[in-house]
Amino acid sequence: QVQFVESGGGSVQPGGSLRLSCAVSGITLAWYAIGWFRQAPGKEREGVACINSSDGRTDYAASVKGRFTISRDDAKNTVYLQMNSLKPEDTAVYYCATVRTMRATLEAHRYDYWGQGTQVTVSS
């Protein structure tokens, strides 16, 4: 059974930083592509960042490029999302997700396993 433990969410002022972590058990994460997604109230879930298995190539939504960084530590079965220069429009519930394939994507429907989500609130 695949289980996720997401952490690192919280409230921060505009311009601040947060680091989200997603520890996954029940699978060998090295075999899986990983994505971070977010969903704000009344909006559809959107892809934020993703990272391939094996070669570690990354991709980002245009709205976060240059501010967010996704990384993975396969030895710890953990994925991270470093979020800098946060804006109020980044406020959402953030989810990590995995799929057993090499190439990651920002398309939510391609992912099989999902974390429970962690709230990020950016407000002054």
- Residue 70 above 90 pLDDT? yes
Q: 21-62, pLDDT tens digit by residue?
A: 999 999 999 999 999 999 999 999 999 999 999 899 999 999
Q: Locate the DSSP E strands across the chain.
A: 3-7, 10-12, 18-25, 33-39, 46-51, 58-60, 68-73, 78-83, 92-99, 113-114, 118-122
Mean pLDDT of the chain: 97
- Residue 100 above 90 pLDDT? yes
